[in-house]
Amino acid sequence: MKRTYFIDLYTHHLEWTYKPPYPDHYSNYNTFADVTGDGAIDVLITAPNLIILSNQGHVQGSYDTSDLIHNKRAENGVWSGDLNKDGIIEILVKFDGDALYCLTTGKPYNPGKMPWPKSLQNSINRPVVP
């Protein structure tokens, strides 16, 4: 059974788990950023749709696309930041197929609350050393 696990790396304590509403064989992509503007880091999951979880594991929002009907899953990932420099957070989601979605929650962009807005990079666009 596929789940997302939130584990405290200092204490090794399992804080919470989330079972997405999709079949276990689907892959998913995760990233971390405050896209809800509440000052707390959110967990963004794609597969087969975009799901926004609070840092407590509660669903705060989701976005379904027509790609779900045809392709049934996400394949390419999720990124967040201020793409057009307007001070508002944008979320880019690439689903299987040709669709690239640019979504927003309308909340202000704070680079200090974007610790992992894209794969292996921080909000200052520098590679993260593993």
Judge whether residue 8 has pLDDT over 80: no
Mean pLDDT of 82-102: 82
The partner residues of 53 in beta bridges, in order of sequence, read 43, 59
- Percent of the chain residues past pLDDT 90, beyond the cut: 9
**CA nearest neighbour of 92 among 77, 73, 114:** 77
Q: Are 62 and 51 in contact (CB under 8 A)?
A: yes
Report how far residue 84's alpha carbon sits from residue 114's, in angstroms, rounded to the nearest whole number: 16
Lowest mean pLDDT among 21-25, 34-38, 92-96: 21-25
Is the torsion defined by CA of 31, 32, 33, 36 positive or negative? positive
Top-ranked range on mean pLDDT: pick from 72-76, 86-90, 110-114: 86-90
Judge whether residue 11 has pLDDT over 60: yes
**CA nearest neighbour of 29 among 103, 91, 90, 119:** 119
